[in-house]
Amino acid sequence: PFEIFRSMTETVFETMSLLARAHDAINLGQGFPDHGEPEALLRIAAEKLLHGSNQYPPMRGLPELRWAVAAHAARFHGVTLDPDSEVLVTSGATEALADTLLAYLSPGDEIVLFEPLYDAYAPIARRAGAVPKVVRLEPPSWTLTANALDAALSEKTRVILFNNPMNPTGKVWSSDEIDLIASRAKARDLLVVADEVYEHLVFEGASFKTVLAHPDLRHRAVRIGSAGKSFSLTGWKVGYAQADAAILEPIVRCHQFITFTTPPNLQQAVAVGLQLDDRYFAELRTRMQRKRDTFRAGLRRVGFEPLEAQGAYFVCARFDQVRKDLSDLEFCRWITTEARVAAIPVSAFYDERPRTDLIRFCVCKKDEVLDEALTRLTRFV
């Protein structure tokens, strides 16, 4: 019975954050911002904690938050959702992912995933008894081809899960790629799950389309979002699943026996956050784009070779011009303990942890923190 947990190792984000803390390193590993939480949301959460209800909210989420999720999807993506039957509030995107995979995967089923992948996907799918079939995308464009997708599909496939914009690559999926996924999902009657937690971090030149805006996917897809990313509040763990009512129902059933609900004061604050004006979301995007650009240029000066990133708040970089003798994990340990700057080895985003020549830096930090990290790296390497 413990066999499965041997493959479920401690998540790299926890490992690298502990190492960063032990060495007083600047933590550009685990993805969390060090600024930018909207003050109004903090005030509402504090006010509601002190003077609002602290008892179980409705199992599907507070009506005002479900309404705000639907209004936000209509405003930014032109998608019309019924807040009562097509929106579920969860304790973070991770819970929404777990609810969805537990609802739709049974032992022996297959799920198609794309590498490099967020590290929670395969373990959750396996715990549901399913078998991950992984399509490996290749840098620098990380493009999905029909041949690669077709090779991963079988009679046992039930779900295709993709992350858009994609962690750690920053890839924003093209309409052609989403069409390709939609055509196979339709032909084989599959569920498509889109982890869209970075929906507001899409940079100039890239065009993001939610799965629910695709005519063939509106009634066969689940879209997952997170307040952690949209409002720089990763510790709050407020997420949402959005889908056609019949598709959402089994996910709701799983949610009711996993967390049942999410703290009411945080739900009320996030409801207000989703109604912030367009300027808030535009500023978030331009600020992160500027940090991406400045940090990539800085990495190049140090001797790294940064890859493009069209979205999310990560920059992946080749480190072999700096040191060839270390694996990506060894390289990350080395800069964390010696230069005192932490990063994540990109091998952690592959199911079988092959050695890669890439490491990932998180750039949603104050400018002075990013500058100091570059100074430390320059001094050291």
Burial of 63-86, coded b for 16+ CB within 10 Å and e otherwise, reads ebbbbbbbebbeeebebebebebb
Q: State the minimum distance, in angstroms, from the CB of residue 167 to ligand GLN.
A: 5
- Dihedral angle sign, alpha carbons of residues 338, 324, 359, 372: positive
Q: State the minimum distance, in angstroms, from the CB of residue 115 to ligand PMP.
A: 13
Q: Could you tell me which residues are beta bridge partners of residue 341?
A: 26
Number of residues that bind ligand GLN (CB under 6 A): 5
Structure tokens at 313: 């708040």
Given candidates 15, 94, 310, 336, which one binds ligand PMP under the rule CB under 6 A?
94
Q: Is 15 in the site for ligand GLN (CB under 6 A)?
A: no
Neighbouring CB atoms inside 10 A of 141's CB total: 12
Q: Which does 13 bind (CB under 5 to 8 A by kind): ligand GLN, ligand PMP, none?
A: ligand GLN
| DSSP letter, residue 202 | B
Given candidates 237, 291, 296, 360, which one binds ligand PMP under the rule CB under 6 A?
237
Neighbouring CB atoms inside 10 A of 119's CB total: 18
Nearest to 242 by CA among 277, 264, 212: 212
Binders of ligand GLN among residues 214 to 233 (CB under 6 A) are: none
Q: Is 61 in the site for ligand PMP (CB under 6 A)?
A: no
Q: State the minimum distance, in angstroms, from the CB of residue 312 to ligand GLN.
A: 9
Sheet holding 344-345, edge to edge: 305-306, 314-318, 358-362, 344-345
- Dihedral angle sign, alpha carbons of residues 293, 296, 298, 300: negative
Q: State the minimum distance, in angstroms, from the CB of residue 31 to ligand GLN.
A: 3
Q: State the minimum distance, in angstroms, from the CB of residue 360 to ligand GLN.
A: 8
Q: Is 311 in the site for ligand PMP (CB under 6 A)?
A: no
| DSSP letter, residue 311 | B
**CA 318/CA 331 separation, integer angstroms:** 11
Q: State the minimum distance, in angstroms, from the CB of residue 325 to ligand PMP.
A: 30
Binding mask 147-176 for ligand GLN (x = CB under 6 A): --------------------x---------
DSSP H helices in 78-174: 92-104, 121-127, 146-152
Q: Is 123 in the site for ligand GLN (CB under 6 A)?
A: no
> Would you tell me which residues interact with ligand GLN (CB under 6 A)?
11, 13, 30-31, 167
> Would you tell me which residues interact with ligand PMP (CB under 6 A)?
31, 92-94, 118, 163, 167, 195, 197, 226, 228, 234, 237, 239
